[in-house]
Amino acid sequence: GAVVSQHPSRVICKSGTSVKIECRSLDFQATTMFWYRQFPKQSLMLMATSNEGSKATYEQGVEKDKFLINHASLTLSTLTVTSAHPEDSSFYICSARGYTDQPQHFGDGTRLSIL
């Protein structure tokens, strides 16, 4: 149980393109979803937290107009990287949690490469 599916697993696109990443909880209802970013040889950095039906809460230094998060249902959240540039190239990982006393479960990540 507690499977989180993330799609796509890899994206390569040109600078200026907007990219959407989907995160789905397959066998549980995710009241809260999280988006992380990980650069090579570094740890995961939390970007934002979203509760179903509410606006996302962004961590300091993360541009909300750059990284658009939608959590419209209890099983789906999307992250859209708008007008992506090479410095946005990274490993993006989503996570989902059901009730507050349950652990977070993670997707397998999306490797984004902007040329």
Partner 1 sequence: DAKTTQPPSMDCAEGRAANLPCNHSTISGNEYVYWYRQIHSQGPQYIIHGLKNNETNEMASLIITEDRKSSTLILPHATLRDTAVYYCIVRVGSGGSQGNLIFGKGTKLSVKP
Which residues are near partner 1 by CB under 8 A? 2, 4, 6, 34, 36, 43-46, 49, 91, 93-95, 99-101, 103-109, 111
* CB-nearer residue toward partner 1: 11 or 93: 93
Amino acid, res. 13: C
Cβ at position 59, least distance to partner 1 in Å: 9
Q: Which two tokens stand for residue 5?
A: 């599916």
Q: Between 82 and 102, whose beta carbon lies closer to partner 1?
A: 102
User: What's the chain's length in residues?
Assistant: 115
In this complex, which beta carbon is closest to partner 1, that of residue 1 or of residue 14? 1
39 touches 87 (CB < 8 A): no
Rounded distance between C-alpha atoms, residue 114 and residue 94, angstroms: 19
User: In angstroms, what CA-CA distances link 96 with 3, 40, 56, 93?
Assistant: 9, 23, 14, 10
Q: How far is the CB of 1 from partner 1 (least distance, A)?
A: 11
Question: Smallest distance from the beta carbon of 29 to partner 1, in angstroms?
Answer: 16
